[in-house]
Structure 1
């Protein structure tokens, strides 16, 4: 599942019209007959080093603490925008280093989504850590593509981390969170780079690439976005090892030492969905309804592997921003605690 259309900026889904509803109908038929897949084991690995150093080519001041960076990335092969919210002490305590929270957006969105759709800036008022919101490309899958470029994993876990440390005094204390495709990316980064993140939170995310509903959503989403999913991880049969190397459900032991939080809605519309376009509600309902079963299974597998995991399954809840905004508030106290300061809700 590339980020389902309902995770787009508000109003974008309605323009998709009949294609969205057709995709929903196909997905419903498959979901009615889909059975849970058994996670398969597989190796995991890290992204390749970038070809030459990444560098910040421009900085735009949004307000006293928010900056939009343009980063030239050899790994991605182009410039990538990154939004950063600085800690309040960043300007006054010139010798201090700061923990970092990385926030990953969904597949049909961009680096502005968290500040556009949530009150993360208000929450950050007392945060004593950097908040870094990088772009991940439309349907970028937070992966180094099989075709060679883009290499989003190398950018996010290598180039960007080094730039934050060298330019913005980031420390090695890190947390990562994301929603939908961004949650998938957060889980993958935490598993494939053990020890890099103390805490990972995934909201409404697909967690098992072997799940039939996920396979269908990947096919529909990649077709809609004009890409071939084989360009990302290769053929799911002949390149199965690479698919499993990017499959959170196949890497449960790799999460040991990292605190994990998983959240997902039931797919039932609620008061937060009132007044929204009917097409949007239908798509976000089906997109979320496909996730709870595999998320529960993944959480159980993590616990059996000795991973410290919390989960929140809520009803009602669709694949949409009102629920992710609420979930951000729910996990915020833990994020601030893990990163070493109190903060406020």
Structure 2
């Protein structure tokens, strides 16, 4: 495996930013780890961080590099600060960055596939929101998306994080039923007739976002979206996410040829 800390300039943000990238390596056997790379451009998992984290956190809190070694996929981990993967009301255009610019830049630097069936996105908490937002907004680009303890109902954020909410979304009236509203995005996709990405959602039953996740699960099921939902005892913490990212990697519909 190659682990690359990549600093680059973003036109959409107007500043320098960073991403951490894991790239597959041709088959080798090292003590405690085996690796492989497919003989084509790499399938890619965009792995998104939560509200208080950055692009380094998945490597610092989990063994993601080891978990993906035998799968032959690249992992791209960008930084978006506390933006909720959104063009902020008062801030930077992180939605344009994450949805348009980042994939283009990453593919210009590294041999990453642009085929829908080779592209996946996952994230935790705020990153779970970002992952589903990308997949539901651009179902033609992502084969599958996973939300771990996702902050899927932006209306609930107005009370828990009022300062962040105002900077990112503006008022509650502006946010609800907008292009930033996960429930609206799910409804729009179901009504569009487009092929929906496969969705995986999980949340610990002791998590403060458990009820939010139940609400979105029920909404997605009513719309007949292809959702796999799992729950078990767990809290909003890295012990839970370290276990569940391994489950996500098992669930991903990876092509092996």
Question: Structure 2: how far apart are the matches of 1:240 and 1:188?
Answer: 14
For residue 262 of structure 1, what is the aligned residue in structure 2? 201
Shift of 1:65: 0.5
Q: Describe the superposition over 1:237-294 as per-residue Cα deviations: whole angstroms up to 9, x where unpaired.
A: 2x246x6321112221326521111111121xxxxxxxxxxxxxxxxxxxx23x2222
**DSSP-derived class of the 1:306 partner:** coil
Which residue does the alignment assign to 1:341? 256
**Structure 1, unpaired ranges of 5+:** 1-63, 268-287
Contact 1:175 1:339 (C-alpha < 8 Å) held by counterparts: no
1:109 shift after superposition: 0.7
CA shift for structure 1 position 104: 0.3
Counterpart of 1:154 (choices 87, 96, 107) is 96
Matching residue of 1:235:
171
- 2:82 maps to 1:82: no
The Cα of 1:184 is off from its aligned counterpart by 0.9
Secondary structure of the corresponding residue to residue 170 of structure 1: coil
Q: Distance in 1 between matches of 2:247 and 2:89?
A: 36
- Which structure would you say has the larger Rg? 1
After TM superposition, give the deviation of residue 162 of structure 1 in Å.
0.7
Cα offset, 1:210, TM superposition: 2.8
Structure 1 residues 124-203: aligned runs within 5 Å: 124-137=68-81, 139-147=82-90, 149-172=91-114, 173-203=118-148
The 8 Å contact of residues 154 and 175 in structure 2, kept in 1 or not, is answered as no
1:121 and 2:57 correspond: no
TM-score (norm 1): 0.65
Residues 188-224 of structure 1, C-alpha deviation per residue, up to 9 Å, x if partnerless? 111222222111111111211234xx321121xx3xx
**Alpha carbons of structure 1 residues 151 and 89: separation in structure 2 relative to 1, 3 Å:** farther
Distance 1:94 1:295 in 2: 35
Determine the C-alpha separation between the residues in 2 that align with 1:84 and 1:198.
20
Specify every segment of 5 or more residues in structure 2 that has no aligned partner in the other structure, as ranges: 28-35
Secondary structure of 1:157's aligned partner:
helix
Higher strand share goes to which structure?
A: 2
Shift of 1:96: 2.5
Choose between structure 1 and 2 for higher RCO, CA contacts under 8 A separated by at least 6 residues. Answer: 1
TM-score (norm 2): 0.86
Aligned length: 241
Q: Is contact 2:158-2:172 (8 Å) kept?
A: no
Distance 1:84 1:133 in 2: 6
Q: Which runs of 4+ in 1 moved over 3 A?
A: 92-95
